[in-house]
Structure 1
Amino acid sequence: MPKTEDDIDLDEVLTEIGQFGRFQVRQYVLMIIPIIFNAFFTLSYVFTAGNVNYRCHVPGCDNETVVNYQPEWMSNAIPLHNGVPAQCERFLPISNASLNNLQCDAADFNRSVTVGCDSFIFENDEVTIVNYFNITCPHNDWKITLVGTINNIGQFVALPIAGFLSDRFGRRMVLLLSVAGSAVFGLIRAYSTGYEMFIIMEFLDPAIGSTMYTTAFILALELVGPRMRVTGNNVISCAFSFGEAALGILAMFFRNWRTLLKILYIPGIISLPLLWMTSESVRWLISKGQREKALSILKKAASMNGKHLSPTSIESLCPASDNESKSEDLSPDRSFFSLLTDAFSNPGLLLRIANCSFCWLTNVLVYYGLSLNSVSLAGDKYLNFILVSLVELPGFLIMQLILDRVGRRITLCTTMLLCGLFCYLSEFIPTGNHWLSLMLFLVSKMTITMSFGTLYIYTVEIFPTNLRQSLLSVCSMFGRIGSMIAPQTPLLAKIWAPLPMIIFGTIGIVSGLTILQFPETLNSQLPNTVEEAMNMNDNDKDKEQLA
């Protein structure tokens, strides 16, 4: 009889052909491309739908040909709030003063009465959908924050479907479709003729491309040996951080939202022939009974890495058998839906999925919440966004040093607790101390980045191969609830300035404590079945708590 999937020790085979040789480097170089695209596509709305500073146009005072956002007379005609001109109101001109002949002195206005604005003066030449589609007063802030929420609703709807397609039909096909679909809808969005069309394209883009990151991540990580998983995870995570920083730099130089979208999305179309060269996941091929294809990829990997597959490994992958046995071997024993039903009927695994989903929700909410709130900090919003992106890099370096020594569970718990603490501390900084406040904000982002990076590799390690991307997508789907909420958090600051950071701190600490219910996966082989996943850590002291 042919051997089953469970009989194949793929981690041992990967060790034999080289855990991170030329073949894996080639695969990672290809996967870095969609990872950077995902950073562009996921966060582009921070700048395309970014708020811009504006004030009322004051008839009789503002020069109709030379625009000056902060003229000397501004405080006479417009209320100031902490030195910033009000966006939606101006002082009422005195009735006997002609609007066309105002001297714009304080005496020309009734400073105890305000009126609404008919038109606006914008601070600089930055063009977002705010001034392009005239999304200004009164009370249109919700239209701006809705853009980010709609983007994440698209991801929420699509992730479980994409996860199913990926586990059912293959990672490579889903990756190509997600890059192509996202790029097409992103380019269409660049030609939006109104706010409604922009919002529809903002939904369809992630609805097609939301699985880009998780698929590329799994395609890369499933082909490296167990000792190189942390390194492989950090390569992908660093690529995303560089993508975020590159987005900030591009937005700094291309300040028209239409131009920026074209710059971000056209490379997605151009890259498709290159991404066609991506190798399919060996683990997925084996889980589907396609062992000859898996063996072909492994032989190619061994050749590129200067290694050789042993006869024992070849026999374990494609045992000698008659045609009938081969036919039986190439057909999966159980349907995907049967495996999924078993997964959700297993109380222990269901509890693990629920805990993992809450952890994802917390990480995504805090991670994206900090990124989005960075453009509201004092100082240049582009520089702040770039710094908040690049501060992730030392976090990945620390992960590289400690994750294979301390373990996944303690690292995840500690980083989330520290993030919550730093979020709290940042609200006790005296007003005006911009740099100290920024430093604590950056440290908060660094620790949640370490947590998020650990969570990705942890989620891959605690779920079985035949359901890995589906369950990762389920957890990530709940994470998108957090990213749907994140764009609204800047509005909370209008209720009480410290509220966003207090929410981030509280939910981070709570989730950090619940993580202690996870198993430790350090130096563990990736489980292939639900049974293997639930039997992880048989000798761990916490086994009874995890059952």
Structure 2
Amino acid sequence: MSKEISDFDSLLSKLNDFGKYQKLNLCLMCLTALLTGMASLSFVFVAGIPEYRCRIPLCDNEIVTEYIPEWLENVAPFKNGFPKYCSRYELKNETFIDNYLNVSCPVDNFSKDKIIECDVDDLVFPDRHTTIANDLQILCENNQWKLSLVGTFSSLGIILGGPICGYISDRYGRKKVLVITGVLTSVFGILKSFSTVLEEYIILDLLETIAGFTLYSTAFIIGLELVGPSYRLLAATTNNVCLSVGRILLGVAAWYFNSWRTFLKVLYLPGLLIVFYWFLIPESIKWLISKKKYDEIRTTLSKISKINKRPLPENYEIFLKSEENSKSTEEANFSKLLRNRTLCLRFINCCILFLGNNIIFFGLSLNSVTLTGHKYINFIIISMVEIPGNILCAISLNRFSRRLTLGVSYLVTGICCILLYFISEGDYVKVIIYTIGKLMATIASNTMFIFITEVFPTSVRHSTLNICYAFGGIGSMLAPQTPLLAFIWDPLPVFTFGFFAILVSFLTIFFPETYNRELPDTIEESANISKTTVTKL
């Protein structure tokens, strides 16, 4: 009898490990990914620097609609092809303005060697969209560092919240954390739209990021733990595609809604529906097994059997009782993982992997703005590129091993980054190589997320994943600073991305192979994952 049902995955396969029950729950998890994608990068638009410049006396009329008219270079200083935000040239004879009433724009009456600062009330905003810079008066170049604080504290939210919420999820259950963080993400997001000072917005954004990241990672793990090994990749890919679709919708919403306050309300209000997940989704059976909650396991198995229209095996009770009596309870204890030399080294490797991945992925995203001058279309294109990357990731992982896919994709990303230096600006080949690099970075990032959920035990899977991602948050904070490396040596930013990509590509050889293997439930099972699996080609 016990040979027929050797473990949970074999029991799940008898009930159809990707039946109607799993599909319904995967849809709910994907809806969570969609909502997360819509909200996760909202600060790009909310804290963005709007187009504005000084109002030019005698040149601008009462209703200014043109950002850079032909005469502007004669009356205002430029920087990197755009007018400086709060500067203009001084009028030579401001006391004789009446002499120029019949002249449309007397450019010869401006002194280019004398630059004066505009008053905040004397600025023009041709763009119909507003950000917190408009409403909270964070204007002119000397205040731009305040806007960068939003992105910095957003990354800090991942560093602070990941380990804490991961531990809570592993100790008290995935379902509780999913519902609570889902509601909190929406509440904090909506409250941000009522902010009246920058400090208030940053605090709420920090809290929203802590909850929002935990929401996505929890839903991702629930989706993977519910399906059988052969469908794990499909579940992860579907989840990642929905995340990218959410980012596309984010770009569309930012383009459509003029007010950042309305924009935030539209993004976060749908997330309040996650409160109903308490009645719709089950607790992770993998987590229930690790906690020896066999009564709840029986209830969930009966529900799966009913919805999938597959009878429970006659000997499933014998299997559950043998598991209940034979396995000792393994508490969610991260320190126990660190005491295991194999898992400790694997954990350190994962932290470096996440750090390098976030520098590469977000660094490429920040540098991709050169693809087009329209920030909304640009953002949408970047998000759309991730979809074929997700699909190619699934195809690669179905045909090749996890380790091979991860190593090769990072290696190609690194080569593409280095090649960018040798191609001249404006060359279409540079755009093609950049796109290939972004695609491979997407494949690598998604493979990494799937891979790391498969190499750690159920009892500490979420907390380990979130601690690794917290180290990745350091990379997210460093990525916006990489353009500053160009002051040392112009190609240093792309060489930095290339270096990290090749480094993490090398580190993948130290991971075990997990292709089509069952998720480990205990620290012992995780440590004993075979490292000699032959790569499937």
Tell me if both proteins adopt one fold, taking TM over 0.5 as the criterion.
yes
Alignment partners' CA distance in 2, 1:101 and 1:506: 62
Alignment partners' CA distance in 2, 1:206 and 1:12: 38
Structure 1 counterpart of 2:215: 212
Q: CA deviation at 1:439?
A: 3.5
| Cα distance, 1:523–1:335 mapped onto 2, change above 3 Å | closer
Q: Report 1:384-423 matches (<5 A).
A: 384-423=378-417
CA contact (8 A) 1:30 1:275 kept: no
Q: Report 1:252-401 matches (<5 A).
A: 252-274=255-277, 276-319=279-322, 333-336=329-332, 339-375=333-369, 377-401=371-395
Deviations 1:512-533 (A, max 9, x none): 1111111111122211111111
CA contact (8 A) 1:183 1:265 kept: yes
Structure 1 counterpart of 2:60: 62
CA contact (8 A) 1:76 1:105 kept: no
Q: Report 1:109-508 matches (<5 A).
A: 109-118=110-119, 119-274=122-277, 276-319=279-322, 333-336=329-332, 339-375=333-369, 377-433=371-427, 436-489=429-482, 498-508=491-501
Query: Helix, strand or coil: the match of 1:207?
Result: helix
Query: Helix, strand or coil: the match of 2:139?
Result: coil
Deviations 1:368-410 (A, max 9, x none): 3333444454322111111111111212222222213310111
Structure 2 counterpart of 1:43: 41
CA contact (8 A) 1:458 1:521 kept: yes
Alignment partners' CA distance in 1, 2:98 and 2:277: 62
Alignment partners' CA distance in 2, 1:348 and 1:215: 25
Alignment partners' CA distance in 1, 2:78 and 2:22: 58
Q: CA deviation at 1:146?
A: 1.6
Query: Helix, strand or coil: the match of 1:391?
Result: helix
Alignment partners' CA distance in 2, 1:285 and 1:334: 12
| Cα distance, 1:300–1:370 mapped onto 2, change above 3 Å | same
Alignment partners' CA distance in 2, 1:96 and 1:477: 57
Q: Report 1:92-111 matches (<5 A).
A: 92-95=90-93, 98=96, 102=100, 103=103, 104-111=105-112
| Cα distance, 1:524–1:511 mapped onto 2, change above 3 Å | same
Over aligned residues, Cα RMSD in angstroms? 2.5
Alignment partners' CA distance in 2, 1:90 and 1:120: 11
Match of 2:13 among 15, 40, 43: 15
Deviations 1:288-338 (A, max 9, x none): 010121122122213322322222333211359xxxxx7x889x73543xx
Q: CA deviation at 1:496?
A: 6.7
Stretches of structure 1 that go unaligned for 5 or more consecutive residues are 321-325, 543-547
Alignment partners' CA distance in 1, 2:94 and 2:49: 36
Structure 2 counterpart of 1:323: none
CA contact (8 A) 2:25 2:281 kept: yes
| Cα distance, 1:106–1:207 mapped onto 2, change above 3 Å | same
Alignment partners' CA distance in 2, 1:41 and 1:224: 27
Opposite residue 340 of structure 1, the aligned amino acid is F
| Cα distance, 1:360–1:83 mapped onto 2, change above 3 Å | closer
| Cα distance, 1:242–1:492 mapped onto 2, change above 3 Å | farther
Query: Helix, strand or coil: the match of 1:113?
Result: strand
Opposite residue 114 of structure 1, the aligned amino acid is I
| Cα distance, 1:419–1:209 mapped onto 2, change above 3 Å | same
| Cα distance, 1:275–1:363 mapped onto 2, change above 3 Å | farther
Alignment partners' CA distance in 2, 1:494 and 1:97: 43
Deviations 1:87-107 (A, max 9, x none): 242222214664566553332
Deviations 1:415-465 (A, max 9, x none): 1111122223334443334x5544333322211111111111111110011
Query: Helix, strand or coil: the match of 2:280?
Result: coil
| Cα distance, 1:495–1:196 mapped onto 2, change above 3 Å | farther
Q: CA deviation at 1:167?
A: 0.6
Q: State TM-score, norm by structure 2.
A: 0.91
- Counting matched residue pairs gives 527
Q: CA deviation at 1:481?
A: 1.2
CA contact (8 A) 1:62 1:68 kept: no
CA contact (8 A) 1:419 1:444 kept: yes
CA contact (8 A) 2:513 2:530 kept: yes
Deviations 1:129-188 (A, max 9, x none): 122222222332322222111111112111111011101110000000111001001000
Structure 2 counterpart of 1:545: none
CA contact (8 A) 2:222 2:284 kept: yes
CA contact (8 A) 2:290 2:330 kept: no
| Cα distance, 1:105–1:386 mapped onto 2, change above 3 Å | same
CA contact (8 A) 2:158 2:209 kept: yes
Alignment partners' CA distance in 1, 2:441 and 2:301: 36
| Cα distance, 1:211–1:303 mapped onto 2, change above 3 Å | same
Query: Helix, strand or coil: the match of 1:419?
Result: helix
Stretches of structure 2 that go unaligned for 5 or more consecutive residues are none
CA contact (8 A) 1:374 1:385 kept: no
Structure 1 counterpart of 2:87: 89
The alignment-based identity, stated in percent, is 38
| Cα distance, 1:486–1:82 mapped onto 2, change above 3 Å | closer
| Cα distance, 1:85–1:101 mapped onto 2, change above 3 Å | farther
Q: CA deviation at 1:33?
A: 1.7
Q: CA deviation at 1:504?
A: 2.1
Q: CA deviation at 1:19?
A: 2.1
Greater displacement, 195-204 / 365-374: 365-374
Opposite residue 129 of structure 2, the aligned amino acid is E
| Cα distance, 1:133–1:496 mapped onto 2, change above 3 Å | farther
| Cα distance, 1:8–1:473 mapped onto 2, change above 3 Å | farther
CA contact (8 A) 2:85 2:141 kept: no
CA contact (8 A) 1:8 1:317 kept: no
Query: Helix, strand or coil: the match of 1:50?
Result: coil
Alignment partners' CA distance in 1, 2:531 and 2:109: 82
Query: Helix, strand or coil: the match of 1:212?
Result: helix
- Runs (4 or more) in structure 1 with deviation over 6 Å come to 493-497
